Amino acid sequence: MKSLALAAFLVFCLGPLFPLSGGRAHSGVDPAFQSGKNAEDPVIPADAQERAILALKALGADRRAKAISFETAGILGVSKGVGFDSKQVQKTLKELEAKETKTTIQIDLPGDVLFDFDKWDIRPDAEGTLKKVGEIIKAYRSPNVLISGHSDSKGQEDYNQKLSMRRAESVRDWLVKNAGVDAGIMKTEGLGETKPVAPDTNPDGSDNPAGRQENRRVEILIKKQ
Amino acid sequence: MSHRSKQILVFCGVSLLLSAGLFFGQQVIQTQSHNTVEGIEVDLTSLEIQNNIVTVKFKLRNTAAEKQNVTIQFKDCYIMDEVNQKKYYGLKDTDGLYVAGPAYDDQNGGRFWYGIQAGKSMGLWIKFPQPTDNPASITISLPGVSPFESVKLAK
C-alpha cells in the first residue's frame, strides 16, 4: 500500500519532467494565435525540421557561412565637434526623441505634424521642430544627412512614393533656407509605403489607423563627423 | 518516522520543487533588451541541435505599460562563430521562406510582426545551420536586440 502511494506521488511530482506526448499537433493555424498560451509558447510545426533538413542540404558543405566584417575605425570614430555634448544639444535630442548610435542620430518626425493631409508644404507650427533638427545637424558638423519620406499603404503605391519624395525635399529645402544647413550634405529619398514601422492592418485584417499614422513620417539620419 | 521514510519525503519534496519550477516557469538561458522598442525584453529560452540544425527559441516580454509593436525580419537574424569569424543566416525552405515563426507574412522570406500587449509575451523560434567548425559557443543576433553572446552549443 505504501509502495503504491509512493509511486502515485512520484508520478505526480515527476510527470511534467517526462511528458507522454512529444508535442502539440500542428493545426495549420498560425501557432501564435491558437490560444493565449500558445502565443507565449508557439508550437513549431511538425514539418519544420524536415524543411530545415532540406534547406541545410541545399546550402552545401560550407552552409553558406559568411565572413564577419567589422566597421572601420573611421566610421566608429565619434566627433568632438563644437557643442555636440552641450546640455542644450542633449536637451534638444531628448525633445526630438532622437535615436543615437556611435555614428548616427536618427530623428523621426510624424508626417501629420509636418504636413497637412495630402500636402507637402511645411506646416507653420512644425517649424520649431525643424529648427531644432537644423541645430543638431550643425552642432555635430554632420558631413552627411539622409532625409527619407515615408507614407502609409493607403492609396496608389506610385502616388505615395512621389508624395513621400516631395515631403523629403520640402524638409531639405526648409533646412537650407531657414536653418542654414548646407544643401550639399543632404540627400533625399521617397520610400513611399515600402518601409513601414508598424502594421497598417491588425492580425485579423482590419484597419489599424494608429499603425498607419506611425508609418506617415519623415526620417532624418544624421551621420556624425 | 524511520530514516528511510525521511529520505523518501526529502526526495519527493525536491522532485516536487523541481517539477513545479519546470511546470510553472520556463528556463531562461540569457536575456537581452530590445534597443528601440521600449520595455521589450527578449529571453533566449532554448537552444537545441539535431541533425546539424540549431533550433533557438525566444520569449519576447513586454514590460512596458502599453502595447508594443515588434518587428523582426527573419532575414536579418543570424548566429556567429566568433572564433572562426563566420556567421550563418537562418535556413530557408524551397519556397524561399525562413524556417522560423510565427510569421506575420511572407515579406522578405517571413517576418515576426506583432503587437504584444503590456505585461504579455510571445514566443519566437528560428532554425539555423550548425556552424561547420563546431565552436563551443555562438553569438545569436536578432535585429534591434542586443546580441546574445557566448551561448553554449551543447549537443
ipTM given for this complex: 0.79
CB A167 within 8 A of CB A115: yes
Picking from A108-112, B1-5, B86-90, which range would have the lowest pLDDT averaged per residue? Answer: B1-5
pLDDT band at A209 (very low <50, low <70, confident <90, very high): confident
Q: What is the pTM of this model?
A: 0.49
Class of domain A78-223: alpha beta
Q: A2 to chain B, minimum CA–CA distance in Å?
A: 10
Query: B135-145 pLDDT, tens per residue?
Result: 999 999 998 88
Average confidence (pLDDT) over A109-132: 90
Q: How far apart are the C-alpha atoms of B63 and B83, rounded to whole Å?
A: 34
Q: Give the position of cell 504579455.
A: B120
Name the DSSP letter for residue A53: H
3-state SS of B10-51 is HHHHHHHHHHHHHHHCCCCCEEEEECCCCCEEEEEEEEEEEC
- The closest CB to that of B91, out of A9, A56, A203, belongs to A56
Matching residue, cell 537552444? B47
What average pLDDT does this structure show over A203-221?
89
Average pLDDT on A44-66 reads 91
| Nearest neighbour of A42 by CB, restricted to B94, B104, B123 | B123
Burial B3-18 (b: 16+ CB within 10 A, else e): eeeeeeeeebeebeee
Per DSSP, helices labelled H in A2-151 are 2-14, 36-40, 48-59, 73-76, 87-95, 111-114, 127-139
Taking the C-alpha atoms of residue B44 and residue B145, their distance in angstroms, rounded to an integer, is: 12
Pick from B83, B116, B33, B139: nearest CA to A199 = B116
**pLDDT score for A203:** 84
Determine contact: A30 vs chain B, CB below 8 A.
yes
Whole-number pLDDT of residue B8 = 57
Question: Which residues are CB-contacts of B96 (< 8 A; sequence separation ≥ 6)?
Answer: B109
Q: Does any CB of chain B come closer than 8 Å to the CB of residue A54?
A: yes
| pLDDT tens sequence across B14-63 | 444 444 444 445 689 999 998 888 899 999 999 999 999 999 999 999 99
Which pLDDT does position A138 carry in this prediction?
Answer: 84
The torsion defined by the Cα of A34, A38, A40 and A41, in degrees rounded to 10, comes to -140
**pLDDT attached to residue B71:** 92
Q: What residues of B are in contact with residue A66 (Cβ under 8 Å)?
A: 86-89
- Confidence bin at A109 (pLDDT 50/70/90): very high
Q: Where are the domains of chain B?
A: 27-152
Task: Identify the pLDDT of residue A28.
Answer: 36
Q: Identify the residue whose cell numbers are 516536487.
A: B16
Contacts of A42 in chain B (CB under 8 A): 101-102, 122-125
Bridge partners (DSSP) of residue A144 are A223
Taking an 8 Å cut-off on Cβ atoms, the answer to whether B131 and A68 are in contact is: no
pLDDT in tens, B63-115: 999 999 999 999 999 999 878 878 999 999 999 999 999 999 999 999 999 99
Which of 3.30.70, 3.40.1350, 2.60.40, 2.40.360 would CATH assign to domain B27-152?
2.60.40
Residue of chain A minimizing CA distance to B9: A6
Does the beta carbon of A33 lie under 8 angstroms from any beta carbon of chain B? yes
Put the strands of the sheet holding A104-110 in their side by side order: A99-100, A104-110, A217-223, A144-150, A186-190
- Mean pLDDT computed over A83-100: 80
Compute the nearest-CA separation of A198 from chain B (Å): 7
